[in-house]
C-alpha cells in the first residue's frame, strides 16, 4: 500500500516541531569545557551532542564547568563501536590534590563481538583499590544508554539504565573514609590504553580503524549541590521530592533496587576486589566485610 502524499504533508510539520522541542534541551556548551584533544572533542547538533575521538596522535576529553559536592548525575553515552580493543572511555567525578576523591566509570573496549568491560572504582582521600568490573546485558555501542552516579552523604550508587550495579556505603563509623568534603568535577576522556585495557594488554589497538568515537547526550545534574565560593548550594528539580527538600540527598536503595543489584552482581560481575583474597593476604578491606 502506498503512503499517500496527504498523510506525508500532515506528518512533516509534526516531525519538524517535535525536533525543535527536543533540540532546545541542549546544554553541553553551558555545562562543559573541552579540556584537551586539539579539535578531537566536538559539541554538535545545537549543543545536544558531544563526541570524543581518538586517533594514533591523541585522544580527547572534557570536564564540567561546575564542581559538585553530592549529586545525582545522569549521562547518556554511546561507546566506540566495532573493534574498540585497547581504547578506554573514562567517565568520572574527581577532586584535586594528592588526597583526592573519585567515583569512576571506565569502559574498556574489546574486539568486535566481544563484550566491553565496565570498570568501576571509588577513591577516598587518595586511596582506591576498590575495583568492581561488569559485562553489560546489552551492546553499549549500538545505542545510547544512561549511566548514573547517585552520590549523597550516606552512599554512592552506580546505575546503568536505572538498574543499580554497585553500592558503596558510608562506613566512616567502621573507619572507612568516605568522599564527602571535597567538591568534584565531572570528567570524561577517550584514550589509548592498549598496554592494559583489553585482556590485560594482550589485544592491541587496531589503528587502521581510527578515529574511534564515543558520543554523549542528555546530561542531567538537576539534582545536585554545586560548589561555588566555598559553599555548596543544593537543588532538587525532581517533582517527586514530596517535601520540596532534596530527597535525593537521602535516597537509598529499596528492596527492588537491592534485588536488581544482586541480579547484576550475580550474572554480570566479572571482578570484585572484595572476593579477591589473594590480593589482600592481610584480610579484605573493611567495607567488604560490613555490608
Ligand atoms: C573482552 O572479551 C573477552 C572474551 O570474551 C573477555 O574475557 C574480556 O573480559 C572482555 N573485555 C576486556 C576489556 O578485555
Nearest CA to ligand 1 atom 5: 114
Sorted by where each begins, the domain ranges of the chain are 27-289
- How far apart, in whole angstroms, are the C-alpha atoms of residue 47 and residue 29? 6
What was the pLDDT predicted at 279?
97
What is the tens place of the pLDDT at every residue in 247-258? Answer: 999 999 999 999
**Pick from 79, 35, 42: nearest CA to 197:** 79
pLDDT bucket at 2, cuts 50 / 70 / 90: very low
- For 167-197, give the secondary structure using H, E and C: EEECCHHHCCCCCCCCCEEEEEEEEECCCCC
- How far apart, in whole angstroms, are the C-alpha atoms of residue 188 and residue 106? 9
Q: Where are the beta strands (DSSP E) in 37-128?
A: 42-44, 49-54, 60-78, 87-94, 102-108, 117-123
What is the tens place of the pLDDT at every residue in 72-128? Answer: 999 999 999 999 999 999 999 999 999 999 999 999 999 999 999 999 999 999 999
What was the pLDDT predicted at 237?
72
203 Cβ below 6 A of ligand 1: no
Q: Using omega within 30 degrees of 0 as the cis cutoff, is the peptide bond preceding 249 cis?
A: no
CB 270 within 8 A of CB 132: no
What was the pLDDT predicted at 240?
52
* Distance from residue 85's CA to the centre of ligand 1 (Å): 9
Catalytic residue among 102, 131, 172, 287: 102
What would the mean pLDDT of 245-269 be, rounded to a whole number?
Answer: 94
The four Cα atoms 90, 93, 95, 101 give a dihedral, to 10 degrees, of -90
What was the pLDDT predicted at 26?
61
Residue 280 has pLDDT above 50, yes or no: yes
Q: Is 55 exposed, middle or buried (0-12, 13-18, 19+ CB in 10 A)?
A: middle
pLDDT bucket at 161, cuts 50 / 70 / 90: very high
Atom of ligand 1 nearest to the CA of 108: 13
- How far apart, in whole angstroms, are the C-alpha atoms of residue 41 and residue 63? 11
| 3-state secondary structure (DSSP) of residue 210 | coil
189 Cβ below 6 A of ligand 1: no
* % of the chain beyond a pLDDT of 70: 88
**Pick from 64, 67, 22: nearest CA to 46:** 22
CB 120 within 8 A of CB 102: no
198 Cβ below 6 A of ligand 1: yes
Nearest CA to ligand 1 atom 9: 117
Q: Which CATH architecture has domain 27-289?
A: Sandwich (2.60)
CB 188 within 8 A of CB 106: no
* Distance from residue 112's CA to the centre of ligand 1 (Å): 11
What is the tens place of the pLDDT at every residue in 213-230? Answer: 999 999 999 999 999 999
Q: Is 93 exposed, middle or buried (0-12, 13-18, 19+ CB in 10 A)?
A: buried
* Distance from residue 148's CA to the centre of ligand 1 (Å): 23
Amino acid at each position: 500500500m502506498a503512503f499517500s502524499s496527504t498523510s506525508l504533508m500532515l506528518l512533516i510539520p509534526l516531525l519538524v516541531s517535535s525536533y525543535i522541542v527536543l533540540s532546545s534541551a541542549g546544554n553541553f556548551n553551558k555545562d562543559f569545557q573541552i579540556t584537551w584533544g586539539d579539535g578531537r572533542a566536538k559539541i554538535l547538533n545545537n549543543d545536544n551532542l558531544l563526541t570524543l575521538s581518538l586517533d594514533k596522535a591523541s585522544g580527547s576529553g572534557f570536564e564540567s564547568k561546575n564542581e559538585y559536592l553530592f549529586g545525582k548525575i545522569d549521562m547518556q553515552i554511546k561507546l566506540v563501536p566495532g573493534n574498540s580493543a585497547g581504547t578506554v572511555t573514562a567517565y568520572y567525578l574527581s577532586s584535586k590534590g594528592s588526597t583526592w576523591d573519585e567515583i569512576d566509570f571506565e569502559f574498556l573496549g574489546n574486539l568486535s563481538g566481544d563484550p566491553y568491560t565496565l570498570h568501576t572504582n571509588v577513591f577516598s582521600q587518595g586511596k582506591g583499590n576498590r575495583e568492581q568490573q561488569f559485562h553489560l546485558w546489552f551492546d553499549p555501542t549500538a545505542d545510547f544508554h544512561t549511566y548514573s552516579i547517585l552520590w549523597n552523604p550516606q552512599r554512592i550508587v552506580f546505575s546503568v539504565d536505572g538498574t543499580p550495579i554497585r553500592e558503596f556505603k558510608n562506613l566512616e563509623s567502621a573507619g572507612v573514609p568516605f568522599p564527602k568534603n571535597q567538591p568534584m568535577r565531572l570528567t570524561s576522556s577517550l584514550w589509548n590504553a592498549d598496554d592494559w585495557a583489553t585482556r590485560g594488554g594482550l589485544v592491541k589497538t587496531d589503528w587502521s580503524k581510527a578515529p574511534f568515537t564515543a558520543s554523549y547526550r542528555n546530561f542531567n545534574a538537576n539534582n545536585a549541590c554545586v560548589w561555588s565560593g566555598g559553599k555548596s548550594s543544593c537543588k532538587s528539580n525532581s517533582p517527586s521530592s514530596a517535601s520540596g527538600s532534596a530527597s535525593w540527598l537521602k535516597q537509598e536503595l529499596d528492596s527492588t533496587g537491592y534485588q536488581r543489584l544482586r541480579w547484576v552482581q550475580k550474572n554480570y560481575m566479572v571482578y570484585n576486589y572484595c572476593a579477591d583474597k589473594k590480593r589482600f593476604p592481610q584480610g579484605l578491606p573493611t567495607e567488604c566485610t560490613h555490608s
